[in-house]
Amino acid sequence: MNTRSAWTRLALGVAPFALTLATTAAILMAMGENPLEAYANLIGGGFESWAKVADVAISMVPLMLASAGMLITFAAGLWNIGVEGQMVAGALLTTWVVQAIEAPSAVMLPLTILAGLAGGALWGVLIGLLRTYGRVNEIFAGLGLNYVGFALTNYLIFGPWKPPGGATMSGTEPFPRSAWMPLIGSTRASWLALLLAVVAILIVYVILRDTRWGLTLKAIGLNATAAYRMGVDTRRHVIFALMACGALAGLGGSLQTTAIYHRLIPQITGGNGYLAQLVVLLSGLRAQWVPLVVLYFSAVQVGSPRLELRMLLDSSLGGVLQGAVVLFFLLVNGFRQRVGLRDR
Amino acid sequence: MDSAIIIETVRSVVASSTPLVFAGIGELLTERSGITNLSLDGSILLAAMAGFAMAYVSGSLLLGFALAMLVGALIALVVAASSIYLYQDQVAVGLVLTLLMADVSSFVGLRYVRLPGPSVPSLSIPGLSALPWVGTALFSQNLLVYLSYLLVLGVWIWLYRTQPGLRLRSIGERPEAAFARGIPVNRMRMVYTGIGGALVGLAGASYSLCVKLGWSHNHTAGMGWIALAIVIFGGWHPFRVALGAYLFGALKSLGSLMQPVYPSVPTQVFQAAPFALMIVALLLVAGDAAAIERRLPARLAPLVRAVFQHGTPAGLGRRFEQG
């Protein structure tokens, strides 16, 4: 098989999606459901009206920011499973600012953005310190702190930040209008939030392609020992990478509160930190593919609740469609490498 | 506190830690062979769901455990095969599988949420359970607990007292040397990853059919990560891994005992504690054993070595290209 012909490449590119649709269809049929009906509901749930399209657009924002951050840590060879916690930290600091300060939008919104960046960055530094000076693998440090972050959120919502009417799972009191990101017309999408996400992915693209720091991170990612012997302060750059990622993810968490929910809720990240891991893997660690992958993930995310309403299925089918594509992508890639090696 | 309460607490700690013992020992076997199976959290969830659903539908506990072990083994084999035969990163595949299997368990398991199902019966061992103190605590348990004792002991004997166990350690430490001695490194890695995965599946079913009966959304979430951390904490040694599991169970039940005593402490502290504890435990074992030894009196040296000595298999997570 010639792995370099255009047709083969197209087939191998489509294969992960085809395999995903086939396996999920098999599961659905085994459960006695009609897969076509399920897929139609998913797509309809994401795109049937302009309001839905706007929902997809805004739900792309936190995922895009988290993925942009994770591109940086991936370049440095880090498994940054702690992005959830970084998003939480951004959301918490933002909520604190909104509660502590009374100001018009022009002052409030920049402050919430800064709070999001700072909160996430601090959380990232904490993981970086555990990893470099504490010698705790970043997977465990990040994951453990995710749980700590969620417990902290719950504590604040049910404790110091509970609404006057009493604490509930629906979160804190709604933010004042001055802390709402400006919306596009009567939709739920905010142009400023979208702009921030686009700028973030562009910045990361440029950092990784054109800057000395990007090159340094890649050197650490490829061979940390070699980079260290060449005089790179690997510890410092690992902490910086986690800090930069944390800042972007924290902004994502901040926008969850100011652009989407307009309050702090218990599951404020919406799982975007874990999804970002999948996004970056599926994009082949390349920034230019991230927006397209995020579009697929967000469309599935917005479309899947309808499975519960119309077919009494669990909306986690959406998660299955997201995860399976990535798994098959990795396996197909491996298959391609194997065949390619044999050809030579 | 009188002794009856203490004995009962120890008994419940041992019982509730048993799934972690299974998962920890399973991952230990896998990692000793040189493969990291990071899919544990998702594997345990799906195995718990599949085991419960099968036992519920068929009425047979044995079939439930069998299916759970099959599920765990298959997921683990995907990790091993995609590394060995498809050149993919073990960590990447493991993390993707963790997330994917959690969603699969929620999706497929929706119909089995909060149903009353069968459970593993208790069985006191005659004679042993009459021993003073430890009798009731250790030998008035269910069958799974006894199985876990045998497993820990068996794996220790296998690793340190048998030929095949020596070969297992060699493929994890020095795959090149092992291969040169004629050991089929990659095939052995597949076998041990499969066995380890089956034990992880057993852990899942132990939750849904014994320790935390039934099935619900994200029923066992987090436990896979704890098990992975316990393997590191336990320095890849079966006794220390088992000890880590019991220690974790003890601290967790201590937390739930403390909760009513200190009502002013928010409940969230107790929810996050296991994971904060996980980080602290890893910080401890990551400590520089030699540096600590130098600062402490010489007679404490064996103790320091016992606690901090690291047994990371040298070939862990590294692909081995077989000629």
Q: In which band, very low, low, confident or very high, does the pLDDT at B255 lie, cut at 50, 70 and 90? A: confident
Could you give the CA distance from residue B150 to residue B240 in angstroms, rounded to a whole number?
15
Q: What is the largest CA-CA distance in chain A?
A: 70
Res A169: pLDDT: 82
Report the run of H or E that residue B128 belongs to, with start and end: none
Could you give the CA distance from residue A36 to residue A45 in angstroms, rounded to a whole number?
14
Inter-axis angle of helices A191-210 and A50-75, nearest 10: 30
Q: In which band, very low, low, confident or very high, does the pLDDT at A261 lie, cut at 50, 70 and 90? A: very high
Q: Nearest-CA neighbor of A180 among A254, A113, A259?
A: A259
- B110 chain-A contacts, CB cut-off 8 A: 313-314
When scoring A78, A84, A143 by the number of chain B Cβ atoms within 10 A, the one with the most, hence best to mutate, is: A143
CA-CA-CA-CA torsion for B174, B175, B181, B182, nearest 10 degrees? 160
Q: Which tens digit of pLDDT belongs to each residue from B8-25?
A: 888 999 999 999 999 999
Q: In which band, very low, low, confident or very high, does the pLDDT at A342 lie, cut at 50, 70 and 90? A: low
Could you give the CA distance from residue A239 to residue A246 in angstroms, rounded to a whole number?
10
Question: By the 8 A CB rule, do A266 and A154 touch?
Answer: yes
Q: Which tens digit of pLDDT belongs to each residue from A175-227?
A: 999 999 999 888 889 999 999 999 999 999 999 999 999 999 999 999 999 99
Which among B86, B106, B225 has CB closest to A334?
B86
A333/B86 Cβ within 8 A: yes
Q: What are the CA-CA distances from residue B126 to residues B123, B130, B135 (Å)?
A: 9, 7, 10
| Residue A198: count of CB within 10 angstroms of its CB | 15
Listed in sequence order, the residues at least 6 apart from A74 whose beta carbon sits closer than 8 Å to its beta carbon are A80, A221, A280, A285
A140/B279 Cβ within 8 A: yes
B110/A281 Cβ within 8 A: no
Which residue did the predictor score with more confidence, A8 or A85?
A: A85
Which residue did the predictor score with more confidence, B266 or A253?
A: A253
Length of chain B: 323
Q: Which tens digit of pLDDT belongs to each residue from A50-101?
A: 989 999 999 999 999 999 999 999 999 999 999 999 999 999 999 999 999 9
b/e map of B140-154 (b: 16 or more CB within 10 Å)?
bbbebbbbbbebbee
Residue A2 has pLDDT above 70, yes or no: no
Question: By the 8 A CB rule, do A238 and A317 touch?
Answer: no
Which among B86, B107, B286 has CB closest to A134?
B286
B276/A334 Cβ within 8 A: no
Q: Which tens digit of pLDDT belongs to each residue from A97-150?
A: 999 999 999 999 999 999 999 999 999 999 999 999 998 999 999 999 999 999
Which residue did the predictor score with more confidence, B301 or B249?
A: B249
Res B318: pLDDT: 81
Nearest-by-CA chain A residue for B94: A327
Q: What's the mean pLDDT in B208-225?
A: 92
Question: By the 8 A CB rule, do B90 and B83 touch?
Answer: yes
* Percentage above 70 pLDDT, chain A: 98
A155/B269 Cβ within 8 A: yes
End-to-end Cα spacing for chain A: 11
Q: Is A311 on the interface with B (CB under 8 A)?
A: no
Q: What's the mean pLDDT in B200-219?
A: 94
Bridge partners (DSSP) of residue B123 are B141
Res B285: pLDDT: 83
Nearest-by-CA chain A residue for B266: A155
b/e map of A283-318 (b: 16 or more CB within 10 Å)?
beeebeebbebbbbbbbbbbbbebbeeeeebbbbbb
Q: What are the CA-CA distances from residue A234 to residues A80, A141, A216 (Å)?
A: 16, 18, 9
Res B305: pLDDT: 66
Q: Is B79 on the interface with A (CB under 8 A)?
A: no
Burial (CB count <10 Å: 0-12, 13-18, 19+), residue A32: exposed
Q: What's the mean pLDDT in B305-323?
A: 73
Q: What are the CA-CA distances from residue B283 to residues A133, A136, A340, B60, B229 (Å)?
A: 10, 6, 43, 43, 11
Res B139: pLDDT: 87
Poorest-pLDDT segment among B32-46, B51-65, B118-132: B118-132
* Percentage above 90 pLDDT, chain A: 79
Which among B86, B266, B268 has CB closest to A331?
B86
